[in-house]
Amino acid sequence: MAPALEEFQARIDREERIEPQDWMPEGYRRTLVRQISQHAHSEVIGMQPEGGWISQAPSLERKVILLAKVQDEGGHGLYLYGAAETLGVSRDEMIDAMHTGKAKYSSIFNYPALTWGDVGAIGWLVDSAAIVNQVPLQRCSYGPYARAMMRICKEESFHQRQGYDIMLALARGSAAQREMAQDALNRWWWPTLMMFGPPDADSIHSSQSFAWKIKRYGNDELRQKFIDQAVPQAEVLGLKIPDDDLQWDAATGHYRIGAIDWDEFQQVVSGNGPCSRQRLAHHRQVQEDGAWVREAVAAHAAKHQAGGDGLKADAHNPASAQEGGADAAV
Amino acid sequence: MSLLPAVVALGDDALVLGQRLSEWCGKAPLLEEEMAMANTALDFLGRARLYYGYANTLGGRDEDGYAFHRDAREYTNLLLFELPGADFAAATARQFLVDAFDELHSAELANSADATLADIGGKAHKEATYHRRHSAAWMVRLGDGTDESRRRMQQALEDVWGYRQELFVNAPAEQPLVEQDILPDRAGLRAAWQEAVAATLTQATLTMPAAGWAVKGGRQGIHTEHLGVMLAELQHLSRSHPGAKW
């Protein structure tokens, strides 16, 4: 091993954080750009299925909570794009890579949000799964990513609660509302399990990521942790997990599930999910529709160099946006 | 006696614009602006809930009763607030005209003889000052940006201009409250508004449209054709499950 590489690995082994100005192997940088940008895209694309329900929310209280929640997702996207930018890649390049299919986003957002029950199920299941995935990332060896994850995890637990709270209200509601909740669980359960990625034996990115402490737990272990949390929560709701093979295994202290349809996962990951084309087309359309605005911002800034950063002073303030969101959601 | 409809009307203004702004979620030209628009939407929706909550204590319905269980003809918001604003220039032009008005209106409402309205006015004023700064900055950036952005902003301004007149009319239900210093005198805000708008348009290198036309009717429930469609989306789920708790 080259001396620089040896020293780099030694730092990681000592649990030191790697910072943007530090030397790092190209593979480490590439892996992080791939993972962080995929994560950022997931936050932003993930605004679509829930965002479509803000205008239709069934009460004003639910409307403002959902809007604040979806706004948070955008904020997460901003932190994460920021973290990835420290690795020398621009937001435009990352978005381009998504549009051309080189960069992915979480497969879960390629499923449609058909009812208000889906808004509950996404918050409950998808955000729970995200938390299980993200908590260990707070200790990721790359400093900016780890710090972004600390902020994100705090907000995700509020998101998960709002989702579960929607499910609870539906489960305690009319027969039609209970049906809405069960139907949503039926459709979101298996795709949520797939969010953790393929079984460890088939995971192509894992071993080096473990050595670099980008990843600390295997896909199967995280998936199991999620299942063990979610099954009792479904029981409290009085809803049935759509898996006839689901059973408690007293010997291991874990729930055992039936077979996951990995062919479906492969289809969705390769861009053939029910909403894959729709999600990307929407994102592209928004980028195109906004191009004249971004050009005007740049032109205005160029004309008024001295005071031309009004946009940043004004709009580029995710911290205050987050506060507003949290206020409204209380 | 006329306080209840006047309070509901202010709630309606806030609700329909909050709904319009929230429609931008996932569609803004910059992620940063997405956050800002959601913030503004949350401020307006929050304001709607304050007004409806007050209306409820005056013997009116609860907030969801107002939002979800009235038809378009029963809504009394001003037309400016309900316009689709479906492209960023239209949304920005409308927002700026509203914000410039709100900043003045809320400052006076904060001194209302009615303590609850004064509280709401005080809170709204803090928000409106920020909103106006934000939307005025966009007017300047887009007006004084590229040729295309100037053309789009000027057109958006022309298209929305005739809807400004309603802002300065005291509806029959509001007139006695104006005389009791409970509501600001809208007619009296026109000169200051005109001046504030003119200053920003000058900076934005935009031309103030001709005074010519005016569309009115919101306070009487005579709306644009857009409101019914917006309410269909806003209300369908709630109305499909009468009596349900969410």
pLDDT in tens, A111-134: 999 999 999 999 999 999 999 999
Report CB contact under 8 Å: B32, A300: no
| Percent composition of chain B: helix, strand, coil (DSSP 3-state, to 5) | 70, 0, 30
Decide if B241 and A299 are in contact by the 8 Å CB cutoff.
no
- Cross-chain CB nearest to A60 (options B25, B29, B67): B67
pLDDT of A77 > 70? The answer is: yes
Residue A247: its H or E element: strand A247-249
Token pair recorded at residue A197? 């990625």
Q: What's the rounded mean pLDDT across residues A178-205?
A: 93
* Least confident span in A17-21, A154-158, B234-238: A154-158
- Which residue type occupies B164? R
Q: pLDDT category, A325, cuts 50, 70, 90? A: very low
Q: For residue A192, is pLDDT > 70?
A: yes
Exposure string over A280-312, b if 16+ CB within 10 A, otherwise e? bebbeebeeebebbbebbebbbeeeeeebebbe
Q: What spatial distance separates the first Cα and last Cα of chain B, rounded to whole Å?
A: 33
Q: In chain A, what percentage of residues exceed pLDDT 70? A: 92
Nearest to B135 by CA among B155, B147, B153: B153
Residue B143's closest chain A neighbor by CA?
A296
B25:A177 CB<8 A? no
Read off the pLDDT of each residue in A51-72 and give the average, rounded to a whole number.
Answer: 98
Percentage of residues of chain A with pLDDT beyond 90:
86
Q: Mean of the pLDDT values across residues B102-120?
A: 98
Distance, in Å, from the CA atom of B237 to the CA atom of B56, rounded to the nearest integer, reads: 23
pLDDT tens per residue, range B145-162: 999 999 999 999 999 999
Tens digit of each residue's pLDDT (9 = 90 or more) over B124-148: 999 999 999 999 999 999 999 999 9
Q: Is the predicted pLDDT of residue A324 greater than 80, yes or no?
A: no
By Cβ distance, the residue of A44, A70, A177 closest to B244 is: A177
In this complex, do B33 and A315 lie within 8 Å of one another by their Cβ atoms? yes
Q: Is the pLDDT of residue A225 over 70?
A: yes
CB pair distance less than 8 Å for B146 and A44: no
ipTM over 0.90: yes
Mean pLDDT of chain A: 91
Residue of A nearest to B147 (CA): A296
Is B54 within 8 Å of B7 (Cβ atoms)?
yes
CA atoms within 13 A on the CB side of A100: 7
Q: Which residue reads 């100037």 in tokens?
A: B150
| Long-range CB pairs of A299-307, under 8 A, 24+ apart, other chains included | A299/B145, A299/B146, A299/B149, A300/B140, A300/B141, A300/B142, A300/B144, A300/B145, A303/B144, A304/B144
Indicate which of B141, B238, B241 best probes the interface with A, i.e. most A CBs within 10 Å of its own CB.
B141
Which of B87, B239, B246 to mutate to test binding with chain A, by most A CBs within 10 Å of its CB? B246
Average pLDDT for A61-84: 97
8 Å CB contact of A67 and B246: no
pLDDT, tens only, A267-287: 999 999 999 999 999 999 999
What's the mean pLDDT in B198-226? 96
> Are A67 and B45 in contact (CB < 8 Å)?
yes
Please name the residue that has the structure tokens 């400016």: B80
For residue A283, what pLDDT is reported?
Answer: 97
Nearest by Cα to B235 from B71, B118, B115, B105: B71
Q: Contact A296/B145, CB-based, under 8 Å?
A: yes
Q: Cβ contact (<8 Å) for B32 and A311?
A: yes
The encoded tokens of residue A84 equal: 């990835």
Of B30, B146, B244, the CB nearest to A173: B244
Dist CA A157 CA B74 (whole Å)? 40
Cβ atoms of residues B148 and A295 within 8 Å:
yes
pLDDT at B141: 98
Q: How far is A229 from chain B (nearest CA, A)?
A: 24
CA distance B80 to B218: 9
Token pair listed for B30 = 């910059």
pLDDT score for B55 = 98
Q: CA A170, A176, A177 angle in degrees (round to 5)?
A: 10
pLDDT recorded at residue A329: 33
The residue-averaged pLDDT of B209-232 equals 95
- Reported as a pLDDT band with limits 50, 70 and 90, residue A203 is confident
Instruction: Give the nearest chain A residue to B23 (CA atoms).
Output: A55
**Average pLDDT, stretch B72-93?**
97
C-alpha separations of A55 from A114, B24, B108, B238 in Å? 14, 10, 31, 12
pTM for this entry: 0.94
Reduce the DSSP state of residue A246 to 3 states and report it. Answer: coil
Neighbours of B151 (CB within 10 A): 12
Distance CA A224, CA B167 (A): 59
3-class state of residue B173 by DSSP? coil
Tokens 């479509």 sit at which residue? A52
Which whole number is the average pLDDT over B40-64? 98
Nearest Cα residue in chain B from A171: B246
pLDDT at residue number A320: 39
State how far the Cα of A256 lies from the Cα of A245, in Å rounded to an integer: 8
Minimum Cα–Cα distance from A312: chain B residue: B32
Per-residue confidence band for A306, with pLDDT thresholds at 50, 70 and 90: low
* Mean pLDDT, rounded, for A221-232: 98
Least Cα separation, residue B133 to chain A (angstroms): 8
Instruction: Please classify residue B242 by burial: count the beta carbons closer than 10 Å to its beta carbon, then call 0-12 exposed, 13-18 middle and 19+ buried.
Output: exposed
Q: How confident is the model at residue A205 (pLDDT cuts 50, 70, 90)?
A: low
Specify the amino acid at residue A12.
I
Nearest CB neighbour to A295, from listed B45, B133, B146: B146
Kindly identify which residue of chain B lies nearest to residue A71, measuring between CA atoms: B35
Which tokens go with A218? 């295997």
Q: What is the predicted pLDDT for the residue at A216?
A: 92
- Cross-chain residue pair B28–A295, CB shorter than 8 Å: no
Percent of chain B with pLDDT over 70: 100
